[in-house]
Structure 1
Amino acid sequence: MPAPWLRLAVALFAVSWGANQFAPMQLVYSRHLGLTSGSFTAMLGAYVLGLVPALLYFGRVADRAGRRVVIRSMIPVSVVSSLVLLLGPLSPELLYVGRVLAGVASGMAFGAGTAWMKELSARAPAGAGARRAAVSLSAGFGCGALFAGVVAQWLPAPQVSPYVIHIALMIAALALVWPVPETRTARTTPAVTRVTALSTAPFLRGVVPWTPWVFGTATISFATLPPRVEQSLGAVSIAFTGTIAALTMITGAVIQPWARRFLEHREEWGAPAGAVLGVLGLGAAGVVVHTDGAVAVVAVFGAALLLGSCYGVLLISGLVAVERLAPEDELAQSVAVYYCLIYLGFALPFLVSVLAPRIGYGTCFAAIAVLMTASVLVARTAPAPRARPARRDDVSPVGR
């Protein structure tokens, strides 16, 4: 029987698959529904409208009622989101609804799932829980995009088939995660509403300034760049979009174990290392928009590798900081707030689509690089994080 943490990892993988299966569908909906790039990036960003309130609410629920009830409830919501997206061809407005529901499912999973993973990994080396959660999520983001792109490119009913596969995956995840033991006992005292760890200088000055670039850089890679080379790819452009999304997110997953080991000795250099990778990736993005043909296509691959690495390093850097700062009874809420901040970056491709016709893509990418560098320089002025004493009186010994 798989270990409890591995069963949970499958559930996190499955929900993040559903969160990013929409990414390669831009060209499908453009051809079949006539959606513009601006409309699609708005739909992509609608995910955040469900994600943020769900993260904040269900983070509190998970800290008070336990992790398992939230994760079990998340799976039907994720299934419904894919059912609604499957009906999108009937009315484009349903695509917005489906994306919001996908955000709700992700919001339920990310905070509670990351906290649960930490507690189920208590016997593993320090930081294993954060790494396992981040890798599970990143791998799901990548595989969801890759398979959706391949399925939409070569299987019948491209507006339906990817979502059917995700529904089947979620049903399998439900069977696996159902018996995973709870790690917290339900509390009758009021839930913590003030998240003390997030009011500290190490978080406010050391983490918050650069959080939007975690997903901002990743979404630039797979939402903004592939359509720029569509004419050079011809018939395989949908699969190419899925491949780039997968390459971005899987690169982020692969680099995280290395980044975690790096952070054990040089935690303060995590964000600067991520920013360097991000600036290099934005430089490759500039090559994409100023060239064409094979050169532009190769530059998209280079940008995906660099921006995916930026995403992975920044994501794990923030999770490690939150894990060190947050007491046990605030962990799910603290992780939830962190995810709310990093998901603000999902708005970046939409902002670029609005500004680029006026000032050019190259100028947009240069401005992002400058802002990212400035945010990391601000973060470097913050004091180093110190671990807070954990409250373990209401944490069961399961997994310890």
Structure 2
Amino acid sequence: MTQRHTRATAVSTHGEASQGAVTPLADPDRAAHRRTTVVFAVVALLLLSSGWATNHFATMIAVLRDQELFTPIVVNGAFGIYAVGLVPSLLIGGVLADRFGPRPVVLTGALAAAIGNIVILLWQTTPGLFLGRLVIGLGVGLAISAGTAWAGRLKGATGMVLAGIVLTAGFALGPIASGVLAYFLSDAAAVAVPFLVAAALTCLAIIASLVIGDAKAAPIIPAIPPSTTAPPLRQPSMKRALATSIPMALWVFSTAIVALVTLTERVADQVNAGILLPGAASLLAFTAGVFAQGLARRFGWGPKAGIVAASIAGAGFLLAGFGGQSPPIWLFVVATLLLGTAYGMALREGLLDVETYAPPERRGTTLGIYYVFTYVGFAIPVLFSWLLPVTGYVMPLVVLGILALGCAGIRA
């Protein structure tokens, strides 16, 4: 029996149906089951608000530029300093979740994300913007890695998949809501209200968690009865979890950032949408991502879905590249949908790889490392700006497309 077949059999369609090779025991205490469900809903709210708190800045960039509160260099620098806070906190959040439990780490991270948005709201200067984005990065990194581990502890593989879907929804709703608010409000309120709403939603999630508390994970038993003749089930391995999940991580935010930044910048002159354009791009990309994740969960797509994810990413990059400097609107829409679909599927497959192979006591740490590699994609706009005078618009995207297709071949 091959390792791939063993994994598919033991985990049952990539681990989701069987909660990571295990099946919950029948619980005579329905109240305990209901409590776990309520706590999981609060975890989902924390992840959604964290995604909202960080990604609504994609729309607020346009607002800040239109009102000339900051120069383009300063606004782009805010992305860089955000990453300075995010990357180490993703790793630290996973390690702390393994050691102290995920709940205190998530609440600390969510509080930091709310404080960061309030700092930008109250201190609209360059130091205030940089400090706010740094604090948001630190907080969101803690909340994402530890929150996904918390969801997995409560609901197994299903919880980790749903965590990815909810986080994606937060990434989508933040830019859309902030764009709509900024469009209909006066200049001063257009800056203040979106940051206030992001902070308020995060605080609401924190309060809900403080009131509800936590729940213990359900007892579990092996999904496959032990047999003296059957081959042994795979041993949990952090190395194996990273070897399978990182090739998926590379196509998570790289696809999203090309859709939301690279393509959006190139069609901005053709669309008179102003500050609504980033929100529209987010709606297309992240809705496609959520839809793809939902279909995968509904129909129990197995590990081969990762091959499809990387292939779709390759197709989206190639299409975006062939559009050149000023792609037509139809190409922008189709490429954004493809890249958003790849984002959702790659995120789901990477999370399930971690849940399937990582040792339970190291799952938070493994998730943190996985998420660090997903955020490598945020370097693409800076890299493209550096390469543009030398290569033009087409070549970098074609190279990304070829690399994604190569990754699909390796996973196959």
Question: Is the shorter-chain TM-score for this pair beyond 0.5, marking a shared fold?
Answer: yes
1:43–1:96 CA contact under 8 A, matched in 2 = yes
1:266 aligns with 2:302: yes
- Residue by residue over 1:249-278, the C-alpha shift from the partner in whole angstroms, topping out at 9 and shown as x without a partner, is 23212211222456x4531x2222112211
Match of 1:105 among 139, 164, 182: 139
- Code of the aligned partner of 1:203: L
In structure 2, list runs of 5 or more residues that go unmatched: 1-34, 218-235
Indicate how the Cα distance of structure 1 residues 11 and 207 shifts in structure 2: closer, same or farther if over 3 A, else same.
Answer: closer
After alignment, is 150-159 or 127-136 more displaced? 150-159
Cα RMSD between the aligned structures? 2.3
1:28 maps to which residue?
A: 63
Indicate how the Cα distance of structure 1 residues 223 and 255 shifts in structure 2: closer, same or farther if over 3 A, else same.
Answer: same
1:239 maps to which residue?
A: 276
- Code of the aligned partner of 1:231: D
1:135 aligns with 2:174: no
Query: SS of the residue aligned with 1:33?
Result: coil
Q: TM-score, normalised by structure 1?
A: 0.82
Indicate how the Cα distance of structure 1 residues 265 and 306 shifts in structure 2: closer, same or farther if over 3 A, else same.
Answer: closer
**Separation (CA, whole Å) in 1 of partners of 2:297 and 2:363:** 19
1:197–1:326 CA contact under 8 A, matched in 2 = yes
- Code of the aligned partner of 2:110: I
2:330 maps to which residue?
A: 298
1:254 maps to which residue?
A: 291
Identical counterparts, % of pairs: 30
Aligned pairs for 1:349-360 within 5 A: 349-360=381-392
1:148 maps to which residue?
A: 178
Deviation at 1:155, TM superposition (A): 1.5
Match of 1:320 among 352, 367, 371: 352
Q: TM-score, normalised by structure 2?
A: 0.80
1:197 maps to which residue?
A: 237
1:85 maps to which residue?
A: 120
Deviation at 1:354, TM superposition (A): 1.9
2:96 maps to which residue?
A: 61
1:95 maps to which residue?
A: 129
2:262 maps to which residue?
A: 224
2:311–2:404 CA contact under 8 A, matched in 1 = no
1:283 maps to which residue?
A: 318
- Code of the aligned partner of 1:277: I
1:160 maps to which residue?
A: 192
Q: Which has the larger radius of gyration?
A: 2
2:50–2:144 CA contact under 8 A, matched in 1 = no
Match of 1:329 among 332, 341, 361: 361
In structure 1, list runs of 5 or more residues that go unmatched: 185-195, 381-400
**Separation (CA, whole Å) in 2 of partners of 1:203 and 1:237:** 41
1:67–1:182 CA contact under 8 A, matched in 2 = no
- Code of the aligned partner of 2:150: W
- Code of the aligned partner of 1:51: L
**Separation (CA, whole Å) in 1 of partners of 2:342 and 2:72:** 25
Match of 1:173 among 200, 205, 220: 205
**Separation (CA, whole Å) in 2 of partners of 1:44 and 1:247:** 22
Indicate how the Cα distance of structure 1 residues 356 and 88 shifts in structure 2: closer, same or farther if over 3 A, else same.
Answer: farther
Aligned residue pair count: 356
1:141–1:246 CA contact under 8 A, matched in 2 = no
Query: SS of the residue aligned with 1:266?
Result: coil
